[in-house]
Amino acid sequence: MITAPQPPTAPRLPARIRGPRALAVAGVVLLAVTACTTTPPGGGPDEPGPDGTGTTPPGDAATAEPEQSALQVALGGPDPDLEEAAAEAVAGMSVEDQAGQVLVGQLGAAGTDPASLRDLHLGGVIVMGDAVPMAADGTHDVTALADRLDDTREALSEGREHGGIISVDQEGGLVARVQEPLVEWPTPMSYGAAAAGQADATRLARDGHALMARALAELGFTVDFAPSVDVTIGAEDPAIGARSFSADPQVVADLGAAASAGLLGAGMLPAPKHFPGHGSVTDDSHVTAPIQDAAVADLDQRDWLPFRELVSGGQYTPMVMMGHVIVPELEPDVPSSVSAPAYEALRGLGASPDGTGAGAGEGYDGVVVTDALNMGALVERYGANEAPVRALAAGADLLLMPSSVPGARDAIVEAVQSGAVPRDRLEEAARRVVTMLMWRDGLVRELEEATPEELSAVGSPDGADTDGTVSGGAETDEARAEAAQTSRAVSAAAVTVVEGTCGEALVGDSLQVTGGDARDRARLTEAARAAGLTVGSGPVVNLVGTARGAGQGDVVVALDAPFGLASSAAPDDGALIALYGRTPGAFEALVDVLTGAVEAPGALPVDVGEWPAGTGC
């Protein structure tokens, strides 16, 4: 049972850890995509203004808010004219085309070749790992991928006045469908560890996601199903783990907003996921439907807090993903992705009771996309074509990865024609999808026309190719270097000494590398040798490559989630370290800590065994 969060207490630090961290994150400032009000001359409200009255006269330039750039206005969300244009476009579609518009198929499956995309009027595609071509050297052939996505983009755009969805799951860490030669990113939990260590993690999250998105946009992607804003419960969470930023709901909310802003700043549509929260259940929805026994009142304080802040705050959130978790208090034995009360709960988070704010009292009206409809949580309950119909009827707007795209399209058409699904429900879903896609088209135009200063003001990487066309399929050397540097900075801010002496060398001029996989060992070896160390003798550095794996050595390093450190062992003069990633930059940051060149600045963002969140140097 999840209970409401308790007031933070000081972490119980092991005796050899010096400099305890507070659990609260200090100095976290979210990216504002709207202009800020300036303080008028005279300071605060009780100090005299220019006229000596304590207020600044109406119309005085000092009181005026800075005028928003066209880019800032665009980031605020669709305007009424755009919504009307989308409604007109959908009204002109047949039932068959409206049904296709709300479907996203897995690239390479039936119905996703260019001819079928045109015939089915499909909303878009998602690229999974098996759709990414391989190069002769074993890396991903991004040029061939870009060519394929260019053909897909043309097919999705034909006969429409808006672009299509070319999507991917690219979170960093283990969930990265497109890999080398793109710059690799550490796990999302890295940002939470940096935040717990009191680094400026929101800036890192914004910049990291913006640079990751820039590389995806250059290949032709338009949507990244990220970030995960699930609040993890720790070792008992089998599906999310290091995909979660933190066990602290407010930290997750802050970092989720920053990550979403970074993606949008590169022209990539984000989809925060997985409502009603997948980090606090003990089953994996890839296999079965997890049951969330917590009361809605408790969920509202924990799992739903990040979603509420995203859909009701000052930053526009175009899309949210609905997971397959069952919440009995909402609807017994029904996965949320096909449960009308679950969609109503999510929509209601965007409502502002006083009629002000982003929700304006009406609730969230962006796109709600399902998690993959071919997952075990639904397949074990419904047929291939029944799940998408149920999801649409319950309130979904975008139906992701049905088992059969042609079958799902035909089933939706049949359900609408028979009256099982009201026509206006399909039209509403299609309207929201088309509104989102038209809005992205306009946002990309503003990004292309913005000045470097305007881009910087919203955290957008300068020079991003966001127009949906392909620029050769690879990052420039300069862009790649910038991304690699930022990726390393994230890991450097996150690395955490959970047990051991801080700020002192843990190895001498040599070390032995064990554990992990061949690539992990090769990368640590390369980083060690680059730092002047000899590899093959000396203290044993044991790499733990799985979230709950355990190890023994002079130094034990958890490369993914840190949960396995609870059952790992190191001598009194050794250390247990959480790295939260296995990128080249992560291993370079690790070597800096091993040699004592730097003190590990990160702190645990989640409880690990006897060590509470906040443990670190």
How many Å apart are CA 431 and CA 423, to the nearest integer?
Answer: 12
Looking at residues 346-365, what average pLDDT do you find? 68
Nearest to 185 by CA among 527, 487, 479, 586: 487
- Whether 311 and 359 have beta carbons less than 8 Å apart is answered as yes
**What residues contact residue 386 under an 8 Å CB cut-off, 6+ apart?**
411
**CA 608, 610, 614, 617 torsion-angle sign:** negative
HSE, side-chain direction, 13 A CA sphere, residue 317:
36
Check residue 179 and give its pLDDT: 93
Check residue 570 and give its pLDDT: 97
- Residue by residue, DSSP assigns 225-237 as ---B-----STT-
How many Å apart are CA 542 and CA 532, to the nearest integer?
Answer: 20
pLDDT in tens, 31-44: 333 333 333 333 33
Q: Out of 150, 286, 300, 592, pick the active-site residue.
A: 286
Which token pair is 109? 């499956």
- Whether 322 and 275 have beta carbons less than 8 Å apart is answered as yes
Give the CA dihedral 214, 219, 225, 228, nearest 10 degrees: -40
**Cα angle vertex 266, ends 453, 160, to 5°?**
120
Q: What is the mean pLDDT of the chain?
A: 88
**Domains of the chain and any CATH numbers:** 76-487 (3.20.20.300), 495-594 (no CATH)
User: Active-site residue 371, yes or no?
Assistant: yes
User: Active-site residue 324, yes or no?
Assistant: no
Tell whether the model's pLDDT for residue 544 goes beyond 80: yes
Q: How confident is the model at residue 63 (pLDDT cuts 50, 70, 90)?
A: low
Q: How confident is the model at residue 286 (pLDDT cuts 50, 70, 90)?
A: confident
- Which of 16-20, 265-269, 530-534 is the least confident region? 16-20
How many Å apart are CA 121 and CA 473, to the nearest integer?
Answer: 26
How many Å apart are CA 130 and CA 252, to the nearest integer?
Answer: 31
Omega before residue 612 within 30° of 0, cis: no
Check residue 419 and give its pLDDT: 97
How many Å apart are CA 407 and CA 403, to the nearest integer?
Answer: 8
How many Å apart are CA 400 and CA 402, to the nearest integer?
Answer: 6
Tell whether the model's pLDDT for residue 565 goes beyond 50: yes
- Whether 580 and 562 have beta carbons less than 8 Å apart is answered as yes
Residue 542 bridge partners (DSSP): 514, 556
pLDDT in tens, 473-502: 456 889 999 999 999 999 999 999 999 999
Residue 224 bridge partners (DSSP): 168, 270
Q: Is 398 exposed, middle or buried (0-12, 13-18, 19+ CB in 10 A)?
A: buried
Looking at residues 420-425, what average pLDDT do you find? 98
Tell whether the model's pLDDT for residue 439 goes beyond 80: yes
Looking at residues 407-423, what average pLDDT do you find? 98
Check residue 476 and give its pLDDT: 81
Residue owning tokens 């400026």: 200
Q: Out of 371, 397, 520, 554, pick the active-site residue.
A: 371
Q: Write the CA distances from 555 to 95, 240, 507, 592, integer angstroms.
A: 62, 26, 9, 14
How many Å apart are CA 547 and CA 242, to the nearest integer?
Answer: 8
Nearest to 14 by CA among 585, 579, 570, 402: 570
Residue owning tokens 């000081």: 10
pLDDT in tens, 509-542: 999 999 999 999 999 999 999 999 999 999 999 9
Tell whether the model's pLDDT for residue 223 goes beyond 60: yes
How many other C-beta atoms can be found within 10 angstroms of the C-beta atom of residue 478? 9
Which token pair is 26? 């200090």
Q: Write the CA distances from 151 to 115, 256, 376, integer angstroms.
A: 10, 32, 31
